[in-house]
């Protein structure tokens, strides 16, 4: 494999476009690839990463940068690993993170595999994160980007040592996105002022429940709202409409604010409580991936983050077995949600992460 050859995933956005330019400036032989993952429904979102217009934007940027450009078909693997997983998790009363699944199985597994077949040593993305080799640990480590506002390390915690070894993230050293846009403007790239993509690419109008209803092989049934004492207090529209901590859209008139505190898929029940009932200090996480350490032998003091946009909080990481850990927070955190990811940090270094299995009472 050629160590100067890199395949960059180009989403048609400003980040991956500037990343491609920076790699070329650094002397790499850059090949642009857009991953065709979900176009059959014809969704066209401004800033969307898988619409037909995004492919054309990426193609025009590649032409401007004078790099080869290809569209690769990832539809089957994307459906299996991302869409089916998304639908299945909601059916279990959990709240999945499809972007993390996409990073894990599509961008840093399948794209890397195909890039190697093209003779490329590296894949690259427009993610805001930093990959370094730690000689003392003899390990590749993942660090937060220099931009706190744009840092995407939370969504990258599943990367393996082999993937980190073969991945480049040229935007990790930028301390704000405006500098990235400035480069795009100087180059005259059409994506310089394109809006960031915020929603899940395959769900139209951010309407998860409608998407699941139209695509699931299970039936979404109404059921009971239950208070924390086990009393029936109303009817819900199907568990896929709810997530932990939710207040709006419940349709309950209890004379006080009501919050979703738990979802019992087996009984088809949504449990309702007060805001205080949404908080917790302990959780169990599974499917653990460690980056900065080889294994967890004893309790470790970390900062832990339970969703992409939340603040990290002081916590202890306690080993249970090879695949599970217990996390005990110093202070209660809001809306510990099964299916979401919890990521552990040591300052700006990602220790690892896993999927939240359950909140402990």
Question: Which residues define the annotated binding site?
Answer: 9-16, 35, 126
Q: Which residues contact 6 (CB under 8 A, 6 or more apart)?
A: 23, 28, 29, 30, 31, 115, 120, 121, 122, 123, 124, 168
Q: Active site includes 102?
A: yes
| Residue 57: Cβ within 10 Å count | 22
Instruction: Supply 124's token pair.
Output: 């690259």
Using alpha carbons, select from 334, 339, 332 the residue that is nearest to residue 357: 339
Q: Active site includes 50?
A: no
Catalytic residue among 49, 50, 99, 102: 102
User: What does 62-117 look like in DSSP terms, one character per residue?
Assistant: HHHHT--EEEEE-HHHHIIIIIHHHHHHHHTT----HHHHHIIIIIIIIHHHHHHH
Q: CA dist 128 to 20, 119, 152, 276, Å?
A: 14, 25, 5, 35
Question: Packing angle between helix 84-91 and helix 208-215, nearest 10 degrees?
Answer: 100
End-to-end Cα distance, the chain: 52
Q: CA dist 329 to 91, 283, 314, 343, Å?
A: 29, 9, 6, 13
CA distance 344 to 67: 38
Using alpha carbons, select from 193, 202, 181 the residue that is nearest to residue 45: 202
Catalytic residues, by residue number, are 102, 201
């Amino acid at each position: 494999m050629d160590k100067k050859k890199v395949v960059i995933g180009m989403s048609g956005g400003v980040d991956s476009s500037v990343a491609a330019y920076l790699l070329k400036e650094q002397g790499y032989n850059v090949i642009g690839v857009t991953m065709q993952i979900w176009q059959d429904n014809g969704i066209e979102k401004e800033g969307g990463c898988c619409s037909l217009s995004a492919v054309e934007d990426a193609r025009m940027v590649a032409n401007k940068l004078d790099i080869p450009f290809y569209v690769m078909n990832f539809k089957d693997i994307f459906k299996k690993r991302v869409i089916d997983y998304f639908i299945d998790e909601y059916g279990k009363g959990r709240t999945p993170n499809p972007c993390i699944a996409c990073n894990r199985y599509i961008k840093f597994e399948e794209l890397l595999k195909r890039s190697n077949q093209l003779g490329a040593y590296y894949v690259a993305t427009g993610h805001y994160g930093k990959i370094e080799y730690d000689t003392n640990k003899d390990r590749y480590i993942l660090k937060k980007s220099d931009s706190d506002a744009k840092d995407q390390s939370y969504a990258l915690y599943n990367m393996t040592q082999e993937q980190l070894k073969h991945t480049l993230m040229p935007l990790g050293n930028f301390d704000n996105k405006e500098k990235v846009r400035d480069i795009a403007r100087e180059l005259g790239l059409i994506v310089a002022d394109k809006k960031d993509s915020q929603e899940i690419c395959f769900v139209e109008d951010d309407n998860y429940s409608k998407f699941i209803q139209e695509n699931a092989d299970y039936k979404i049934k109404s059921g009971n709202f239950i208070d924390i004492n086990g009393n029936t207090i109303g009817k819900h529209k199907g568990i896929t409409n709810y997530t932990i901590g939710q207040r709006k859209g419940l349709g309950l008139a209890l004379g006080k604010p009501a919050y979703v505190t738990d979802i019992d898929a087996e009984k088809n029940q949504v449990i309702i409580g007060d805001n205080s009932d949404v908080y917790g200090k302990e959780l169990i996480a599974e499917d653990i991936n460690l980056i900065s350490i080889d294994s967890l032998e004893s309790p470790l003091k970390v900062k832990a983050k339970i969703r992409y946009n939340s603040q990290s909080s002081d916590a202890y990481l306690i080993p249970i077995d090879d695949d599970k850990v217990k996390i005990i927070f110093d202070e209660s955190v809001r809306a510990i949600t099964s299916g979401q990811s919890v990521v552990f940090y040591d300052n700006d270094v990602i220790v690892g992460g896993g999927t939240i299995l359950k909140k402990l009472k």
